[in-house]
């Protein structure tokens, strides 16, 4: 939106039905446009990260006040940050989009070791989700990453370079292309 105020909004609440609807209602009532979002359950909480816009003049304090009411009424906690123009020019990094999956026994260090190795390879992570699946007696750690393989490297190169971690961490790591679909 040209000549608009833009905000990053993070929302956290104990998980319950209606969190997304309550948040969307605040934004709708204020005339905000929801441009980008990511939402997930984290343990017993629900978390959202949103990018919203509103035609100027519109202040951060107005948005904060509306979310304060939602906090008072329903316990939802929101943080609002004003975004500058330079933060709105998002472009996907150059390179091929891939999905990296990691499965193994739940233990500390899996996220650190995999993401540190990817950073060293100049791989850009676009999305990362983790869960503990399986049973309490036999937990399985699951990590899914969407990432951009840098120009000059192939998905095969990344897969091969992660092979050391497969052995070291005793996990399964898969790397595959995500084929874009044209609409």
C-alpha 133/C-alpha 142 separation (Å) is 7
Q: What residue has token string 């909004």?
A: 9
Burial of 149 (0-12, 13-18, 19+ CB in 10 A): buried
Domain boundary among 64, 87, 110: 87
pLDDT, position 86 = 78
Which one, of 56, 52, 55, lies nearest residue 26 by Cα? 52
For residue range 5-44, list pLDDT tens digits in order.
Answer: 999 999 999 999 999 999 999 999 999 999 989 999 888 9
Element (H, E) at 150: none
User: Contact 104/169 with Cβ under 8 angstroms?
Assistant: yes
Last-in-domain residue among 57, 87, 117: 87
Number of domains in the chain: 2
> Is 9 part of any domain?
yes
The confidence score (pLDDT) of residue 180 equals: 66
Q: Does residue 182 form part of some domain?
A: no
Buried b (16+ CB within 10 A) or exposed e, 111-134: eebbbebbeeeebbeeeeeeeeee
pTM of the model: 0.76
Q: Do residues 79 and 110 both lie within one domain?
A: no
> Quick one: 41 and 18 in the same domain?
yes
Model confidence pLDDT, tens digit, residues 163-181: 999 999 999 999 999 876 6
78 and 100: one domain? no
Q: Where are the beta strands (DSSP E) in 56-123?
A: 77-83, 96-105
Q: Is residue 183 part of a domain?
A: no
Distance CA 82, CA 60 (A): 7
Say which CATH number the domain at 143 has. 3.30.70.260
110 and 59 share one domain: no
Q: Is the peptide bond before 183 cis (omega within 30 degrees of 0)?
A: no
Please give the residue range of the domain that contains residue 48: 4-87
List, for residues 87-146, the tens digit of each pLDDT value: 877 677 888 999 999 999 988 999 999 999 999 999 999 999 999 988 888 889 999 999
Report the C-alpha gap between 106 and 132 in whole angstroms. 7
Instruction: Tell me what pLDDT residue 1 has.
Output: 47
């Amino acid at each position: 939106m040209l000549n608009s105020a833009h905000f990053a909004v993070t929302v956290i609440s104990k998980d319950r039905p209606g969190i997304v609807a309550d948040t969307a209602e605040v934004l709708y009532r204020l005339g905000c446009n929801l441009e980008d979002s990511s939402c997930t359950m984290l343990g017993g909480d629900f978390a959202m990260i949103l990018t919203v816009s509103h035609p100027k003049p519109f202040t951060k304090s107005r948005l904060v006040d509306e979310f304060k009411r939602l906090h008072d009424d329903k316990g939802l906690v929101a943080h609002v940050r004003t975004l500058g123009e330079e933060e709105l020019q998002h472009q996907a990094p150059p390179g091929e989009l891939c999905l990296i999956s990691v499965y193994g026994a739940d233990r500390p260090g899996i996220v650190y070791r995999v993401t540190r190795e990817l950073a060293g390879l100049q791989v850009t992570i676009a999305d990362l989700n983790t869960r503990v699946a399986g049973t309490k007696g036999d937990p399985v750690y699951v990590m899914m990453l969407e990432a951009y393989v840098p120009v000059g490297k192939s998905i095969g190169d990344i897969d091969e370079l992660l092979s050391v971690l497969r052995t070291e961490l005793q996990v399964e790591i898969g790397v595959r292309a995500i084929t874009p679909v044209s609409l």
